Amino acid sequence: MSLKHAILVLLEQEPGSGYDLVQRFNQGIGQFWNASHQQVYQQLKKLHDNKLVDFQTQRQSDKPDKKIYRISANGKTELRDWMSESNNPPVVRDALLIRIFAGHLTDKQTLLDELARHRQLHQNMLEARQAEEARYLNSSKNQQMKMRLPYLTLRRGIRYEREWIAWLDETMMFIESHSLPQSPA
């Protein structure tokens, strides 16, 4: 049940509308938590029912009105309490690895194509995160101080993508240079 807390963290950082939160989920923090707008709006409603956030409607002439949510005193208490709880690492469920595991059921090229596709995706993610890192490293000492902890999570993202790419390269090389054990069709 951490979407709740992810939202509270974002609102603690800076108030915003559901729409704003979705944008933020698609940026930096999206690398380790993500949510669709449908989920966000419903969760905000629940958080409001539980008095963990409140909002004020902001009228806009050119764009649709929006509700600016902010974390309440109760919300802050809830968040602080949650910070002392613990969660185990999430369970990984990755279809790519099932496919490699059972690679004898298909042909080399199919595997290699899918591996290359994933490599490209991870390469894109890596570059996006490295760009973020560059922005951080070029920001003022003051800004860096403030963003020190988020930066650590960004480091995690960079390491994660790099590790994927390394494994994908190793694996593609291996598959290219070996024949697959072939199962009868």
Partner DNA sequence: ATAGCCATGTAACCAGTTACATGATTGA
Partner DNA sequence: TCAATCATGTAACTGGTTACATGGCTAT
Residues binding DNA (CB under 7 A): 1-3, 17-20, 23, 34-39, 41-42, 44-45, 60, 62-67, 91, 93
Question: In the bound complex, what is the minimum distance in angstroms from residue 111's beta carbon to DNA?
Answer: 22
**What one-character-per-residue DSSP string does 15-37 give?**
-B-HHHHHHHHTTGGGGT----H
**What helix, strand, coil percent values describe the chain, rounded to 5?**
65, 5, 25
What are the angstrom distances between the C-alpha of 182 and each of 28, 91, 146, 179? Answer: 43, 31, 56, 8
Question: In the bound complex, what is the minimum distance in angstroms from residue 161's beta carbon to a copy of itself?
Answer: 10
Q: Contacts with a copy of itself: how many residues (CB under 8 A)?
A: 64
- Residue 5 lies near a copy of itself (rule: CB under 8 A): yes
- Residue 173 lies near a copy of itself (rule: CB under 8 A): no
Dist. CA 176–CA 19, nearest whole Å: 46
Question: In the bound complex, what is the minimum distance in angstroms from residue 20's beta carbon to a copy of itself?
Answer: 17
Q: Tell me whether residue 67 or residue 99 sits nearer to DNA (CB atom).
A: 67
Question: In the bound complex, what is the minimum distance in angstroms from residue 141's beta carbon to a copy of itself?
Answer: 13
Tell me phi and psi for residue 11, to 5 degrees.
-75, -30
Q: Tell me whether residue 57 or residue 182 sits nearer to a copy of itself (CB atom).
A: 182
